[in-house]
Amino acid sequence: MDTSKPADFKLPEDCQDMREVRTGVDTTDRELMELLDRRFGYMRAAARIKTDRKVVRDEARKTEVIENARADAEKRDLPAGKIAQIWDDLVETSIAYELGEWDRLKG
């Protein structure tokens, strides 16, 4: 993962103007994409490892992942309900991606 930041990157508490805020947001968005790329790499690994397409969807695991995100958001005083919705979309997208990879590899 490329963790390099622009020379003018500042943490939120150090920002003095909107240019610095925007640089921080853009940098953070690139870092989030790198993390998503890694997360979807795990979906590719799961598709490679699982021997039965029927086990790709695991509702108990989905619930666990979303509740973990909700609890973490609450601890951070972030909008937990909205973050849980984002995680629901993320997990559903991950499942669809994994199914596609499973089919590509084994279908």
Annotated binding site: 22, 39, 50, 98
Binding-site residues for substrate: 22, 39, 50, 98
Residues in the chain: 107
Instruction: Compute the distance between CA of residue 33 and CA of residue 10 in angstroms, rounded to an integer.
Output: 19
Residue with tokens 């609450």: 74
Q: Count Cβ atoms below 10 Å from residue 91 Cβ, excluding itself.
A: 19
Instruction: Compute the distance between CA of residue 74 and CA of residue 67 in angstroms, rounded to an integer.
Output: 10
Residue with tokens 């490329």: 2
- Nearest alpha-carbon partner for 73 in 57, 92, 88: 88
